[in-house]
Amino acid sequence: MIWPVLFFGFLLGIEHALEADHVAAVASLATRSNTMRGTVKVASFWGIGHAFTLFVFGAVLVALGASLPQRVDRTFEFAVGLMLVFLGFDVLRRLRTKKLHLHVHEHDGGTRHLHAHAHEGEGEHARHDHGHGLRSMLVGSLHGLAGSAALILLSLRTMHSGAQALLYLAVFGLGTILGMVLFAIAIFLPLRVSARQLDWTSRSLEAALGVTTLVLGGWIAIRVSLF
């Protein structure tokens, strides 16, 4: 019976999606989305890119009876680090383009108060929902390449044939998609609620996210280079 093993692989896929570098990448990409649908789209395409690359790469290696050289795997991991540095810088760059505006509102009875809101630089808001899918899929594909060696080896050791190994990778990929979508839903609410309430909370959260992503990417790149 391989079903218990496949179910365990599905759960491992969900857990794999929540690794620090994956979460940082998707959270950074999700800051471009203003809607729940857009955020879930970012996460879904990341998961699709990750699962597709892992499955295709795994199929090639299984068919050839080969394994991925450690040097190549480390190169992919180094590329992931650089990508995270870029995403972190991108979050901080976009944060600088957001402009804070104050408007005076007058209620019945003559009471006035200031209302503040922030938005992207000119033209930026209109481009939020364009190109997110492709960008997210490319990021997910790179993550899939970076983690392919260990995951393919795990599938081959767990299953008794190449076909079963590919089935394991497919189920694992579905788990990563679900795990990342659940994470995207979880981060959307605090980001959007804080954005509506302002109080600098939203900008602080995005700044912290950008810095964390940048630092994590730099650490991965340095670790791969030195060790």
- Domain span at residue 48 reads 3-226
Regions of the chain short of the pLDDT cut 70: 1, 98-131, 190-202
Nearest to 218 by CA among 25, 43, 70, 78: 78
Nearest to 224 by CA among 80, 74, 85, 79: 74
Q: What is the pTM of this model?
A: 0.80
Q: Considering its fold, how many domains does the chain have in total?
A: 1
List pLDDT tens digits, range 115-158.
Answer: 444 554 444 444 455 567 889 999 999 999 887 777 787 787 77
Is 34 in contact with 128 (CB distance < 8 Å)? yes
